Chain A
Amino acid sequence: MSSPEELAKAAGRTVFRRSASGLMRQFTAYDVLVYNIAWSMLLIDGAAYVYLWGPFAFPGANIPLGMLIVTLWATPQFLAYAMLASTMPRSGGDYVWQSRILQGSVGFVTMMVMALSLFIWVALNGYWVTAFSSSPMLEIVGTQVNNAGMVNLGIWLSSPNGIFVGTIIVNIVTFLMFLPGITPGLKSGRYGFWLVVLGIGALTVQMALYSHTDFVTQYNAFMVKLDPTHTNYYQYVIDTASSAGFAPNTAFSWFDTLGLMPLAWIVLAWPMWIFLNLGEVKGADSLKRISMLTLSSLWICGIFMIIWGYEIVNLAGWTFLSSAGYDWFNGTIAFPLIPWFMNIASLMGSSFVPGLLIGLGAMAIGLWECWVNYVGGSRIMLAASLDRALPEWFGRIGRRFRQLVNVGIVYLIMGIVIGYFYDCPTIMGVSCPLPTFYTYTPYTSLAASVFQWFTMLAAVVFPFRAHMRDVWRTSPASRYLLAGIPVISIGGVAGMGLQSVMIWYEVSVSNLGINSQPSLIAFGALLVGLFAYWWLVYGYWKQKGLNLTLAYREVPPM
């Protein structure tokens, strides 16, 4: 039965309402929090980079401390996001907030950077479903149950050919899930959610159950089955890195500890994507609800990453992790099983069950995350098409499937193309003509940092923009001030600071893989190119009688 009391509380207890459409019960906080673990938290797969790439790239880092710092620092940013969302709940997110508060071309450029980075994401999701999950799961489970077929299939799935074929399959399956609309993906994701929860649970328990000595023994016993030439694979990993000049044990460093933040952002950038349509009832209750949801999501992610950081270092040892990271990143060892933290956890013990649960959880994340990327990317393109910044083609709903079919096709093709370059150096025996994209994974983090920087700028200036005065006045967020300063602005400043630091690391630290001159020139050219494109399109529509800058310009009241 509909609850007038709930509506009254949100709208105001004394407020009268009449029977009208749109008035509905609110989504409960528990529902959102529990179920959105599957959608916006890229735990397991996303976190893996912190525990292998992190120790190599930043050998003086303290992982649990780094995760705590980034989670704390992200908190005011997430609060600012919650305030923007509760102020303009139906507006469509970052693109619209930036276009409306800042300027149309800014919103277009940053969101197109995000939309284009999703091409890397959908290729990455193929990598996650193969090399991160199905491959190690089959190798580990196959070894534990003595099934050579499973092991061989697992090994193949971690080869460039296997990953590329897997990426094609993942993207085709995702495209087919995308076509009939959002509901099938959501409904099937109910099952994916449970796989993710079980996977997270199994991972956490596994790493807690065993000591470092157990790890060394069991790791060696496992790896000798995959590579009989090395009976002490643990030492082999450390010695290989050492002989290449890598020094794994350095003194604690704040620089290195903060350097983990861009890697952690592969996970922590996304818990704010759980914004709901708040329906017709806006109010303080909505702001409290959405703040709680976003901050809880952030902190659940953060807490797991802190705990896992502590557990994996205790289990595998810092020397091994950082050496393994070096060997993997530089290709000095062709690992039959890459020592991602979930693989390390999976091979511990004699039971295949933990490995199975962890593998299925990681697969579920990879697959459903791919679908979320298709959906999210299509909505960005639709918004830009409605403004006429992108051609109508991108916003066209298909007659047969009633979906943004054209955008889906774009993501399908680009997912496969980028996947090809992602999985090189050779596929089907042919060397790739371009550098392997795999080391460009942190570009996903850089793209997120760029568009979030501008959203945080919008949050900072929002209360002070003359043309947004009325929107701000009726915003529940306008009631929250600290020493006379709007909390949303304070959150925005903190968020801009966080994103600035991460961007600086990404463009200056070579071990994060994306600061090569060609890579940065390409990114800079992309930004300039998108700005130039926007102004060209502006000129085209001007001569047809439309002004693109009016898409979000405030209409003056009478």
Chain B
Amino acid sequence: MPLFGKQDKDKDKPVRLFFATDVHSSEKVFTKFLNAADHYKADVLILGGDLTGKFVAPLIKREDGTTYTDFLGIPKVLRNEPEIREMEEEIRIAGYYYYHTTQKEYEQVKDNKQKIDDLFENLMLETLQQWVDLAEKRLSKSGVKCFVTGGNDDPFKIDDYMRSIRTEHVDYVEGNVVDVCGYEMAASGYSNMTPWKLPRDLDEDQLYVKLDELVSQVKDKSKAIYCIHVPPYDTGMDLAIYLDKDLKYQHAGQPIEGPVGSHAVSKLIDKYQPLITLHGHIHESRCFYRWGRTMCFNPGSEYSEGILRGVLIILKGPKMDAYQFTSG
């Protein structure tokens, strides 16, 4: 800024950005996320990938009129509507889906992979619609905008669906570069290969090409935000427990953990040096890493306990002014 230059107040106005990730269909965490705008006085919300859940808990209506569940391994018989509603809420808090069924229907579905897949798809899309409606209703009051991306656990089917239901305040930005309060953000839910070989898992070379193609679209790289689901390799943000080919812990008295992040992402950060990068994917590795001028964040996730883990970041011009990891 010139010595006698005029200060552009808008340009230097801090932007408070709140980022959380890996909510895995936990309604409790998602609703807290929406409320984080007020709670942390955020100007913008960014929700990282892995939006969808991994479990469906059937609520099985029995012939005697009661409803049975063994959610979390605890058999329970629900005798009336209030008990059922309460159980539904508990299931939602834990990041599971629930669905009401009969014993006969359950028996038909339980060994049928296609039916189970269809069930998951329906519940995912239904839940996402509810979330977007809720978010729009809530955020339209404050005017805060929410950007949502995908993750490697999210099936491709949700991409088009989420784009089709986007609203004024909720934008699904997977695979795009968008403006976030004057900062360009490139968002991608792809990951390097994991032991589960999910659809959005790619080999490192393929991942690099895909991500490079995306981030090259950013015009002002000094003020860029990369929201890339998988963290860079060996940065403390990507420490996970090693598994063998049977998906069993490798151990030596305690589980052995090590870096599982992406070399492709590391190369990109090294090459372009964006302002900040936002990651998720490894729930346990709540951490930051300073990479040259780039500050990288992974706030972790505790979705199954209904706890919102996030990071509040204050950006000011071309600098990151302050940050704080939160756990609400």
A interface list, Cβ under 8 A from B: 1-2, 9-27, 31-32, 35-36, 38-39, 87-92, 96, 100, 181-183, 186-187, 189-190, 193, 274, 276-277, 280, 282-285, 382, 386-388, 392, 395-397, 402-404, 470-471, 473-476, 479, 541, 544-546, 548, 550-558
In whole angstroms, what is the CA distance A471 to B58 when docked?
22
A contact residues around B71 at 8 Å (CB):
11-12, 15
Contact in complex: B305, A555 (CB < 8 Å): no
A12 to B248, CA, bound (A): 20
A18 to B72: give the CA distance in the assembly, Å.
Answer: 16
Find out whether the CB atom of B196 lies under 8 angstroms from the CB atom of A21: yes
Q: Would you call B290 an interface residue if the criterion is a C-beta within 8 Å of the partner chain's C-beta atoms? A: yes
Residues of B within 8 A of A20 (CB): 54, 153, 196, 198
Measured between beta carbons, the chain A residues less than 8 angstroms from B324 are 387-388, 541, 546, 548, 550-551
Tell me, in angstroms, the Cα distance from A10 to B71 when the chains sit together.
9
Q: Mark B243-271, 1 if CB is under 8 A from A, else 0.
A: 10011110111111111000000000000
Stretch at the interface among B163-171, B182-190, B279-287: B279-287
When the two chains form the complex, which single residue of B50, B57, B301, B314 contacts A545, counting CB atoms closer than 8 Å?
B314
* Residue from B31, B74, B235, B327 within 8 A of A397 (CB atoms): B235
Q: Is B14 in contact with chain A by the CB < 8 A criterion?
A: yes
5 contacts between A and B (CB under 8 A): A12-B74, A18-B116, A20-B196, A181-B239, A402-B259
Bound CA span A2–B94, Å: 23
The complex places the Cα of A474 from the Cα of B259 at a distance, in Å, of: 31
**Residues on B close to A: CB < 8 A?**
14, 16, 28, 31-32, 34-36, 39-40, 50, 54-58, 60, 68-74, 90, 93-94, 96, 106, 109-110, 116-117, 119-120, 134, 138, 152-153, 194-196, 198, 234-236, 239, 241, 243, 246-249, 251-259, 281, 283-284, 286-290, 300-302, 304-308, 312, 314, 321-328
Contact of B253 among A193, A382, A474 (CB under 8 A): A193
Complex: chain A residue closest to B327, CB-CB: A552
Q: Name the residue on A nearest B120 (C-beta).
A: A18
Q: Sort A-B residue pairs by CB-CB distance and give the 6 closest, nearest first.
A: A35-B253, A555-B328, A283-B72, A386-B325, A283-B73, A397-B236
Indicate whether A471 sits within 8 Å of B56 (C-beta atoms), given known contacts A15-B96, A22-B283, A386-B287: no
A-B contacts counted at CB < 8 A amount to 244
Name B305's contact: one of A2, A9, A474 (CB within 8 Å).
A474
Residues B305 and A471 in contact, CB atoms below 8 Å apart = yes
Q: A25-B249, A187-B252, A190-B252 are known contacts; what are 16 more A-B pairs with Cβ within 8 Å?
A: A1-B246, A12-B69, A14-B69, A15-B58, A21-B198, A23-B54, A26-B249, A90-B302, A183-B256, A186-B256, A277-B255, A544-B321, A546-B312, A553-B328, A555-B328, A556-B39
Would you give the shortest CB distance from B172 to chain A, in whole angstroms?
A: 20
User: For residue B281, which residues in chain A have a CB less than 8 angstroms away from its CB?
Assistant: 21
Contact A18 B54 (CB under 8 A): yes
Cα distance, A545 to B72, chains bound together (Å): 40
Asked whether A15 lies within 8 Å of B55 as measured between CB atoms, the reply is: yes
- A283-B73, A555-B35, A555-B36 known; A17-B286 Cβ under 8 A: no
Q: Are B35 and A557 in contact (CB under 8 A)?
A: yes
- B14: chain A residues within 8 A (beta carbon): 545
A87 CA to B307 CA in the complex, in Å? 11
Contact A12 B54 (CB under 8 A): no
Which residues of B have CB within 8 Å of A382? 287
Interchain CB contact under 8 A, A182 and B257: yes
Query: Across the interface, do A21 and B251 meet the contact criterion of CB distance under 8 Å?
Result: no
Q: Is the CB of A556 within 8 A of B35?
A: yes
CA distance A557 to B326 in the complex (A): 15
Q: Which chain B residue has the least Cβ–Cβ distance from A189?
A: B253
Contacts of B16 in A (CB 8 A): 545
In the assembled complex, the CB of A467 is this many whole angstroms from the nearest CB of chain B, namely 9
A39, A404, A550: residue with the most chain B Cβ atoms closer than 10 Å: A550
How far is B28's CA from A413's CA once the two chains are assembled, in angstroms?
A: 45
Cβ A545 vs Cβ B322 within 8 A: yes
In the complex, chain A residues whose CB is within 8 Å of the CB of B252: 35, 186-187, 189-190
Closest residue of A by beta carbon distance from B115 = A16
CB distance from A388 to the nearest CB of B (A): 5
Min Cβ gap B133→A in Å is: 13
Contact A280 B35 (CB under 8 A): no
Question: Once the chains are docked, how many angstroms separate the CA of A402 from the CA of B289?
Answer: 9
Given contacts A282-B72, A396-B290, contact A17 B256 (CB under 8 A): no
Across-interface contacts of A541 in B (CB, < 8 A): 322, 324
Asked if A39 contacts B253 (CB within 8 A), the reply is yes
Contact residues in A for B196 (Cβ distance below 8 Å) = 19-21, 23
Contacts of B55 in A (CB 8 A): 11, 15-18
Given the known inter-chain contacts A544-B321, A550-B326, A558-B35, please indicate yes or no for A91 contacting B302, CB distance below 8 A: yes
Residue in B closest to A24 when the chains form the complex, CB atoms? B247
Choose from A1, A27, A183, A479 the contact partner of B249 (Cβ within 8 Å): A27
Bound complex: CA of A14 vs CA of B328, how far in Å? 31
Q: Chain A residues with Cβ under 8 A from B248's Cβ? A: 24-25
CA gap between A15 and B95 in the complex, in Å: 13
Chain A residue nearest to B285 (CB atoms) is: A90
CB distance from A451 to the nearest CB of B (A): 19
A402 and B236 contact, Cβ closer than 8 Å, known pairs A473-B90, A555-B36: yes
- A541 and B106 CA atoms in complex are apart in Å by 54
Q: Is the CB of B28 within 8 A of A470?
A: yes
Give the complex CA separation of A165 and B106 in angstroms. Answer: 69
What is the chain A residue whose CB lies nearest that of B22? A22
CB neighbours of A36 from chain B (8 A)? 253-254
Chain A residues near B90 (CB-CB < 8 A): 473-474
Answer whether A386 and B256 are a contact pair too, CB < 8 Å, given A90-B300, A282-B72, A283-B74. no
Complex Cα distance A430/B275, Å? 54
Distance in angstroms between the alpha carbons of A31 and B236 in the assembled complex:
26
A387 to B287, CA, bound (A): 11
Which residue of A16, A89, A387, A541 has the most chain B CB atoms within 10 A of its CB atom? A16
The chain B residue sitting closest to A279, CB to CB, is B241
Contact B54 A280 (CB under 8 A): yes
Is there contact, CB below 8 Å, between B284 and A186?
no
Partner of B94, one of A10, A282, A551: A282
Partner among A16, A25, A181 whose Cβ is within 8 Å of the Cβ of B56: A16
Residue of A nearest to B241 (CB): A277
Which among A38, A387, A403, A471 is the interface contact of B307 at CB below 8 angstroms?
A471
A474 touches B94 (CB 8 A): yes
